[in-house]
Amino acid sequence: MGISPVLWQFLVKWLHNSALFPAEASTIAPYTDELYFFLILVSIFGTLVVLALVVGFSVKYRREKNPVATQVEGSTLLEATWTIIPLAIFLLVFVWGGLLYFRIYSPPANSMNIYVVGKQWMWKAEHPTGQHEINALHVPVGRPVQLTMISQDVFHSFSIPDFRVKREVIPGRYSTVWFQATDPGVYHIFCTQYCGTQHAGMIGEVTALTPDDYQKWLKESTSGMSLAQNGERLFASMGCNSCHSGNAAARGPNLAGVYGSRLTMNDGSQVLVNDAYLRDSILNPSQHVTAGFAPIMPTYQGQISEDGLIDLVEYIKQLQSNYRVQQTQLTSESNQAAPTTPPQSSNEMVKP
């Protein structure tokens, strides 16, 4: 904000080199640090004022000089001053913090999404294009990255101090966090919520790569199947396609293009179809029945792992037409001996 960028860089580098402070390696970091340093300065200032008054008054009004106590009835001006100035400072911090909060909580529209599953005691990252990593995360610099995270067991918390990023990772619910790395390098990942005996070992490394290196990494570490392709397999093998075929006579709603749309429920309420809604409608279908449909979808609670759910969610997110759904259905219905493998071109499923 007000402080000169050069001075700022110098201060942060110096603190970082003396191991007092994490590096500033994301776009958010300088903003959170400004507020942080402001709070420290205000606290130091407040402490010094109180200290000076305590010492000053103890000397000034010591017993030898004032053998008889003086009664002070109060001073409105003084009281107003020490109320209004701190109030103004706190309100400033409130507004400042609020603006920062919105910045931290609103991922840019063009951010790329990576899924993270936390479990005792490791972090598993799943890239939509099929790369899987354990206790590691590769991201490009200069591009906003959103993490959609969930825990498979207890509460965890995902933190990258150098990016000033931390968010609770909760069983049964997706939480998200976003960042944009600024400098290529390797940074720590910590779990910052005590989660059992080996909590301290629930650590990892995030590697920020230049866009070129990132593309290279994506190619080298691909598992051959994108998440959506895994999801497509699950969708067929679990029989989802028997009701969600997109045919006019289908018993379940058409899922193509449903992601991001607004659905009307049978009680008249409206919901936005996001990742969380998709996941929940697979696990608790009776909780929100889409208008015009009977509550016949069985629950899949306990039958699909979080990884499987991520695959299905990613598949439905990218489903633009029911052509392949119907193809798989036709081939499985006619019970042919011929292999039903869909064509192996990955690009048609995966948005860039």
Contact footprint for ligand HEC (CB under 6 A): 238-240, 242-244, 251-253, 255, 258, 263, 278, 281-282, 285, 288-290, 293-297, 300, 312, 316
**Min CB(248)–ligand HEC separation in Å:** 14
Residue reference for tokens 């294009």:
129
Q: To which H or E segment does residue 165 belong?
A: strand 165-169
Place of tokens 């305590």: 54
98 versus 298: smaller Cβ distance to ligand HEC: 298
Nearer to ligand HEC, 32 or 290 (CB): 290
Taking CB under 5 A as the criterion, the residue among 119, 156, 244, 279 binding Cu ion is: 156
Neighbours of 77 (CB within 10 A): 6
Residues contacting 91, CB < 8 A, separation 6+? none
By CB under 5 A, is residue 167 in contact with Cu ion?
A: no
Nearer to ligand HEC, 3 or 265 (CB): 265
Q: Which is nearer to Cu ion, 23 or 195 (CB)?
A: 195
| Full 3-state SS string of 176-214 | EEEECECCCEEEEEEECCCCCCCHHHCCEEEEEECHHHH
CB 349 within 8 A of CB 229: yes
* Residue 97 or 239 having the CB closest to ligand HEC: 239
Residue closer to Cu ion, measured from CB, 116 or 325: 116
Direct distance between the N- and C-terminal alpha carbons of the chain, in angstroms, rounded to an integer: 36
Rounded to whole angstroms, how far apart are CA atoms 190 and 156?
Answer: 10
Site for Cu ion in 194-223 (CB under 5 A): 195, 202
- Minimum CB distance to ligand HEC, residue 280 (Å): 9
Q: Which of 117, 191, 228, 240 is in the footprint of Cu ion by CB under 5 A?
A: 191
Pairing of strands 204-209, 185-191: antiparallel
Q: Minimum Å distance from CB 247 to ligand HEC?
A: 13
Residue 258 binding partner per list Cu ion, ligand HEC, none, with a CB distance cut-off of 5 to 8 Å that depends on partner kind:
ligand HEC
Q: Which residues bind Cu ion (CB under 5 A)?
A: 156, 191, 195, 202
